[in-house]
Amino acid sequence: MILNKTTEYALTILGFMATRNENMYSAEYLHQQLNIPCRYLRRLLTDLSKHGFLKSSSVRNGGFVFAKDLKEINLALVINKLEGIDAICTCILGFSCCIVDKPWIMHEPWMEARSKMVETLTNTTLADLKEKYQIDPIKNI
Contact positions toward a second copy, by CB under 8 A?
1-3, 7-8, 11-12, 15-16, 18-19, 34-35, 75, 79, 83, 85, 88, 94-97, 104-106, 109-110, 112-114, 116-121, 124, 128-129, 133
Neighbours of 102 (CB within 10 A): 8
Encode burial over 44-69: b for 16+ CB neighbours within 10 A, e otherwise.
Answer: bbeebeeeebbebeeeeeebbebeee
Choose between 57 and 123: whose C-beta lies nearer to a second copy: 123
d(CA 42, CA 31): 9
Question: Which among 2-10, 109-117, 118-126, 129-137 is the span making contact with DNA, rule CB under 7 A?
Answer: 2-10
Q: Which does 62 bind (CB under 5 to 8 A by kind): DNA, a second copy, none?
A: DNA
